[in-house]
Amino acid sequence: MDVPSVFRILKVGIGPSSSHTMGPFFAARDFRGLVAAHGFTGGRLRVILLGSLAATGRGHLTDAAVAAGLSGHEFDRAATSLPEVLAAVRAAGEIGIAGHRFAFQPDEDIVFDGSDRDLPHPNTLRFALLSNDGRVLLAEEYRSLGGGAVAGGTFGEGADWKKGQFTMSQVLAACREEGTDLVGFVRENERRLGVGSEEVAARLAALWTAMVDSISRGVSTRGVLPGRLHLARRAPGMYEALQERTGAQHVLSREMDYASTYAIAVAEENAAGGRVVTAPTCGAAGVLPAALRTLQETIGVPDERIHDALLVAGLIGLAVATNASIAGAEVGCQGEVGTASAMAAAAACCLLGGDPEAQVDRAAETALEHYLGLTCDPVYGLVQIPCIERNAAAAVAALHAASLALLCRGEDRITFDTAVAALAETGRDMDRKYKETARGGIASLFEREAGDRQGTESG
């Protein structure tokens, strides 16, 4: 088996999209390094966004991420926002690299190429440095693979997931042979990869802190999300209503309502370009922290046990990324929120004492199978409708899947590996318009109905 580090799945990033914001940022920063390494002293920078990046890049702040990466900004952008960086680059009309100035006007030099063509990946972008007479001095192609992973440039195949290098069935067999559980397996795998126990503990603590912080900001920050939908944040009002509600009739338990609220809080933070943890992506970042925070508050588990659950969740995410995909542009939202729900279900089942094979694997499979075929159809290319509420639904589904796995007895007929294989096959068969292009599903119908309403009003 070749099991990558779980920290390739679980990492701190910024919204609204790991594949359309984080990936292009890393690619741009890499190209900036190449320009400096080759010793160029001038010219014009040019970027071409292709495939899904061209279709929904504006809504995902891809152009702003590219400008920030080329400008050499740090990714956490604590001092300034991505739109502010983009505005500053527009005003300057140039970018400084290694003490030299390079012409760059985002509105002209970032090209959204929506032409229908064969691409090495749906999220492909090409960088070039041109001479004053238009000759290509340096060119590089990158692929944003999902979850912030990038291939191309100095990354080489880089963070490309090693397809078919391990399965959960193999992991479970190894656990039986070695007499360990999933947590022990992941910790030993990290050690083999050179990540010591103290470093693992520090990373997990930082990830959980970032998750809790994203919930806290989400339930306390009011206002309107950026973009043409002008969508108001709902999490603060939902949180207040939950705390004030006493004895009122409701369909779901308070725990499920809290899970929904926390998931929406994180998803709204992500949509606003805030700091979240990819789990496995930014667009699905609300699911895992919502489920784990709800359990922590309900049954009082310490942070150390939450950290163990994060390791199990990361392993489940790796299994999907390795054997299928976590990129909405490649397999639809089944690869994002479906994987997130499976990760959260496995983590929750682990926290509740589930057996790795009979229950944890079953919980992950139950959560994932009900998201197979889910389209990625963000309205106006924004990670808002239907993405935010999908996080809430997936968090509740994860807790339900964990509960089912603990209640049911006997061997499950469908393994998690089978569900992952079905995800991969469904993603290959899915029409391109349903894979993060905003050209199908809810996105296209919403725009059509909005156009009809506008025509009626103007008439």
pLDDT mean over 6-18: 92
Residue 323 reports pLDDT greater than 80? yes
Q: What is the pLDDT of residues 365-419, one digit of tens each?
A: 999 999 999 999 999 999 999 999 999 999 999 999 999 999 987 677 899 999 9
pTM of the model: 0.92
Confidence of residue 116 (pLDDT cuts 50, 70, 90): confident
Q: What is the pLDDT of residues 43-74, one digit of tens each?
A: 999 999 999 999 999 989 999 999 999 999 88
> What are the DSSP calls for 133-164, one per residue?
TS-EEEEEEEEEEETTEEESGGGTTTT---TT
Q: Are 109 and 46 in contact (CB under 8 A)?
A: yes
Residue 161 reports pLDDT greater than 90? no
- Candidates 148, 226, 123; CA nearest to 435 is 123
Who wins on pLDDT, 162 or 243? Answer: 243
Taking CB atoms within 8 Å and a gap of at least 24, the contacts of 324-327 are 324/420, 324/421, 324/423, 324/424, 324/427, 325/146, 325/161, 325/423, 325/424, 325/427, 326/9, 326/146, 326/147, 326/280, 326/281, 327/19, 327/122, 327/123, 327/144, 327/145, 327/146, 327/147, 327/281, 327/436
In the DSSP assignment, the letter for residue 290 is H
- Is there a common fold for 17-155 and 168-448? no
Sequence-distant (6+) residues with CB within 8 A of 333 are 283, 371, 374, 375, 376, 377, 387, 390
User: What's the confidence (pLDDT) of residue 82?
Assistant: 84
Kindly list the domain boundaries of the chain, sorted by start residue: 17-155, 168-448
Which residue's entry shows tokens 């542009």? 329
Residue 456 reports pLDDT greater than 80? no
User: What's the confidence (pLDDT) of residue 254?
Assistant: 87
Q: Are 313 and 307 in contact (CB under 8 A)?
A: no
Confidence of residue 231 (pLDDT cuts 50, 70, 90): very high
Domain 168-448 belongs to what architecture?
Answer: Orthogonal Bundle (1.10)
End-to-end CA distance of the chain: 64
Sequence-distant (6+) residues with CB within 8 A of 270 are 15, 16, 214, 276, 282, 283, 285, 286, 383
User: What's the confidence (pLDDT) of residue 457?
Assistant: 52
Class of domain 17-155: alpha beta
β-pair partners for 346? none
